Structure 1
C-alpha cells in the first residue's frame, strides 16, 4: 500500500503543468508518455497529435531515471510510449526488454532502415549531426574536412570539447570505431585529447562561447545548437553564433556522423494501438516539420524538407552506418574514453 501511494505521488510530481494524473488502467482515447525530452520541445508535437486524433496525452518528464522507473513498475507501469534522445539511451530500453516489438508498415516506410531497430523496438524520429565548429576569423573551412583531422598536431591547444563520456561524444567515437576499428579510434582520441585547449567541460553552447572568447579555434557540437544560438533572444549568444562556421565532415568518404532522437512503445502498454499511432504521427510531415522549426533538427522522413534555417547550413552527406551498430559499440567507446582521459 505504501508503494502504491509513493508511486502515485511520484507520478504527480513529474507531470507537466496542466496534464492529468496518469492512470494505469487502459482508456480508449488516452496515452501516457514517459519523456527524456524537455517539455517545451515535445508539447507542440503532442498538442498537434491530440488535435488530429482526439487522443489525450499525459506526460511524465524526467532527465534521468526512467529506465529504472519502468523496471520497478513492471507490469503495473502506466507508460505507453517512451521518447528520448541518443541511440545509446534507446538501446538501453530495448536491451532491458522495456520496448515492445511493433508492426507498422508506415514506420518502416517513413524511417530509413539505418535509423531504426532491426527488430522494430525503437525508431529514430529526428536526426542531429555532430559537426565541427570553427572560428570564422582563425580557421579556413578547407583546413578541416574529416573528423579524423582533429587529431593532427597543427591543432594542439586549439580544440574545445565537452567530456568524452557525454552520450553525444560517446556515439561519435563509436562511429569512428565502426569505421576504423578500436585501435585506430583510440589513436585518434589520444590525438584529440592532446590538442585540447582546456580540460573537457561544459555543454555544446559553452564550446561555441569559448571560440568566441578566443579560448580555442575549433569545437565539436551538435548541429542544432548552431540554430539555437543564431536565433537566440539573448544578443550575446547570437554573437557567439556569428563567430563560427559549422563544418560537415567526411563528405568525400563515409559522411558526417548523425545521432537521433527516438522512441518506442512501452512493453506493458495498455493502449498499444494508439501508442503506435503516436510514433507514426511523429514521422509524418506535420511533426517532422516541427522538429526543424522548434529544435533545428533534421527530418528522418526523406519526403519532408528541413526547416528554412536548417537548409541554410547547406546539404550534407550523412554516415549511413546502422545506428544500432553504433549503439553496440558505445561500451567500447567508453573504455577508450577512460583510457585516453577524454
Structure 2
C-alpha cells in the first residue's frame, strides 16, 4: 500500500560549481523529490537543496528512508559533494527550506508515480530471522558478590601524562577502581568510563592503557557474572569503533584500543570452560577480531546447541574460520532485512573492518536484552 511518511527529509549537497549543482538537482527531481532548488553557497560553490516527502511503496518508513538516504549518499559521492540532512514534519521542512532557484516544486500526489518507479529497483524488507534462543536475556544472578577485585599494576601507569575526554587522565584509575569494587555502583562506574575514557565513539591515548585492567576484571573469579558479561559486550563495542585488520597497524587511538583488546584475546578466551552460555556467545564474537582455528571446534559445538537462527553467531563463526563466501552470504542476507547493515556494506572502509562493524551491530541487536 502506497504510504506518505510522517516526516520529510531535507538533503543539502554542496558542490563546486553551478553545472554540477544543476546536474545533481535534475537527478533528485527525477527520483520524485517534491522540492528541489539550487543556489550559490555562502563562501564558494553551489548548494542543492532537495526535499523527500515520499510517498513510499509501503508503511515501512524506516526501510525506505534508509534506502533513499543510500541513493542520495551515492549521488553525493559521484558529484564530489558534501552532504547534510535534516528531518522534520513536511510543513516545517517546507517552511524552513533553503531559498534558491526552483528546479521543481510539486505535491506528493504529483510525484507519486515517479517516486514508486524510483523505488521499484529496491526490494522491500525481507523477513527478519525469527530468533528463538534466549542468549540475550540470561538468567540474572543473585547479585554482586561485593568482594572487590585488586587491579595489578594500576599505580604503575603515569595516568597524568595521558589524556582522556576532558584533559589529563589522572581520574581514570579511580574510574577503574569503581569498576573493581564489584558492587551496586557498577552502572555509575561504567557511565563514567564511557564519559571519560571512551566518549561518543572517541578513544584517547589513555584508552588502550585501560584494556589490560578491564581484562583483569573480566577474568577475576569473584566478579559478578552479570558484570563480566557487561564487560565482554563493552569490549566488543570498543574494539569495533575502528578495528584493525589482522595485518594492519593501529593508526588512531581507536585502532590502538582495538589492537590492545585483540592482543588480550587469549586471556579472554581462557574464560570459555567456565563461562555462561551468554558469555560464550560474546567470546565467539570477540574471537572474530583475530581468526584462529584452535577454539573453532568448541565454538561450532556451542552453535549446534543454540536453537534456531543466529545471524550474529553465524557471522562470527564465518569470520573466525576465514570462510569468505559464508561471510558474504551472511552479510548480504542481513542487509535484506536490516537497513543499518545495508548502509554499513556501502561504507568506504576495508572489507574486513566493514564486516566486523556489521558483526558488532548484529550481536548488540541479538545478544543483548530487548528493551
Task: Give the TM-score, by structure 1 length.
Answer: 0.23
Task: Give the TM-score, by structure 2 length.
Answer: 0.21
**Larger relative CO (CA 8 A, sep 6+): 1 or 2?**
1
Over alpha carbons, which structure has the higher Rg? 2
